[in-house]
Structure formats: structure tokens, C-alpha cells
Amino acid sequence: MHAIGIDIGGTKIAGALVDDAGTIIRSERQPSPAGNPRQIEDVVVAMIETLAEGEEVCGVGVAAAGFIDADGSTVYYAPNINWRNEPFKQKLEARVPFPVLIENDANAAGWAEFRFGAGRDATDMVMLTIGTGVGGAIVSGGSLLRGGFGSGGELGHLRLVPGGLPCGCGAHGCLEQYGSGRALLRIAGELADAGGIGLPLAAARDASGELSGAEVGRLIREGDQGALSALRQLGASLGQGAASLGAVLDPQLFVIGGGVADAGDLLLDPIRQAYLDHLPARGYHPEARFAIAELVNDAGVVGAADLARVQATRPSPAH
């Protein structure tokens, strides 16, 4: 039976009707009225009605960036949307004839990779999504790890450098400050300031007024030594963080997603090396593999839909 996945972002709302093999049957996309919770609700309801027309639908999964409670019903806090303790599941179920599940967007994307993408042959997987920040998802023993309060898997806020750079979360030295797309731009800018191998980075910055991710990506693809050095530093931080996660979670696989993952093995190689350099008891147990995410932009809607299907088809607990 089909399920519907909705991915709510700060600029757009994407939706899809998804079958039980993770294939998108049809999809919708609308601008996101991020500052108006009622308008978001109206857009999502209309999208669900359109996607469900003429179909048997077992449930709806909604992915959103933010802290979601353990029951998948209330959004505690969504930084890019004006939601604070928003009972979104209850509101949607009052307007559509399907059970609804609310899930963190990184968890939904990680679940999609586990079920249908790079992690489909694993039982224990960690996904790191490298975008403006660092997102994450943990699958342990075939189940998504949400934590006791529903806010587990915030892997970008693993403490990497004690007393390090300030993070938007209020702490200092988080992995996000050393392993994100924003961090890549900072490192590239520092190399540009230093001259030497950073001169092409400085020239790109001077030409456009600022150093963009697209320019750094172009220089990486062209083999520029400064841009590649910045990418290796980024990978080293991610690998060190992965080693700490490996000591706790013992995953079979790390999946790396997000825009920076377009660099492929140029990013994976320094991640792997730093992981091995920092892994406790190296050589005395199997070591995790690393892979690039496969589903890219569809992961959020596919994962949300599949999680809704899992919930809808799970046997009710015996009384």
C-alpha cells in the first residue's frame, strides 16, 4: 500500500506518493510560507489531498527540521519555521483521513538511505548530512534511534574541540563548526588569506566579492590544491567525529550525504583515514565502511513516507 511523505523546509514544501519499494509514484512542490504555521498546515493538507486522490494510502509522514517529541506528534522547536510546541500531528489528523507521523528531516533522510539507498544491506548505520550544518541519523539493530525524548541523533553537536569555535546551539567546539559546508568556506577563506596554495581561492573571492560553495566546489573539481586542502581538513574533522561515534554505536556503515558529498572519494578518503587514526582498538575488530548517499533530494519524502507505513502496519500492542 502507498504512503505519503511530506518534507517541510524553510523555502519549499515537497510531497510525494511513495510505494513500498521506495519508488515515488507522483510528487508535488510548493513554496513554504515559513513564518505562518496556519498557512503551512493549509499547504500540507492540500498537498496530501492531491497526492492521495484515487489511491489507497495507509499513512502520512511529515519530515521537518527541528526537535520532535518521542511520539512523533509535537514539534518542540523548528528553527526555520515559526513552530514552538506545535501539535502538528493532531492538527493534520483533524483534517485528513489518514494516520500522521511527524519526524525530524535528517532522521527521515537517514531512514530512506537505510531502507532503499546506500545502507540497504546494513542493520546498523550512521548517516552524516553535510550541508550548511551537519545533520545526522542513527539506525541501530534495524530501528531508528530517536532517544528518550525524541531528540536523539543531533550528530552535528557532538563536541569535537573542547573550548573550540562557538556554535549556534550555544556550546563551543561542535562538529558542525569543523565539518559543515559553512566550515569548508571558513577554511577556504583562511587559506585564501594565507596566500601560497590559497591564491586561486583568493582570486575567486576577489572576482565575485565573496567565496561561495559553488566556487570552492568548482576549484575542487579542477584539482586546485588550496580547495583540496580545505576539503581534506573538513574530512579529517568528520573522520575524527565518526571515530567517536563508532566507539559508542559500532555501526557497520557511515553514509555521507549533503551537498559537500558531491566530492565523492575526495571527501571520503580523508574521512576514512582520520576515522582509522582515531578509532579505539584499531585492528582488533571489524571497521565500518563509508559510502556516499544515493537518494539525494528525494530522501526526505521517501523516508517520511516509509516511516509512516511502518507505523501504520505495525501490530497494535496486546492489552
pLDDT per residue rounded down to tens, the chain (319 residues): 899 999 998 889 999 999 999 999 999 999 988 778 889 999 999 999 999 999 999 999 999 988 999 888 899 988 777 788 999 999 999 999 999 999 999 999 999 999 999 999 999 999 999 988 898 999 999 999 999 998 889 999 999 999 999 998 899 999 999 999 999 999 999 999 999 999 999 999 999 899 999 999 999 999 999 999 999 999 999 999 999 999 999 999 999 999 899 999 999 999 999 999 999 888 888 999 999 999 988 999 999 999 999 998 876 555 4
The bridge status of strand 24-31 relative to strand 2-8 is unpaired
Q: What is the pLDDT of residue 59?
A: 97
Place of cell 496486546: 318
Q: Is 307 helix (H, G, I), strand (E, B) or coil?
A: helix
Phi-psi region of 240 (alpha: psi -120 to 50; beta: other; left: phi over 0): alpha
Q: What is the pLDDT of residue 65?
A: 86
Strand order in the sheet with 75-78: 67-68, 75-78, 83-86
Residue ranges and CATH numbers for the domains of the chain are 2-111+297-313 (3.30.420.40), 122-293 (3.30.420.40)
Q: What is the pLDDT of residue 11?
A: 85
Q: What is the pLDDT of residue 34?
A: 74
Answer yes or no: are the C-beta atoms of 226 and 200 closer than 8 Å.
yes
Q: What is the pLDDT of residue 72?
A: 87
Q: What is the pLDDT of residue 71?
A: 87
Q: Where does the chain have alpha helices with state H? A: 37-52, 88-93, 105-116, 176-179, 181-194, 199-208, 213-221, 225-249, 265-278, 299-313
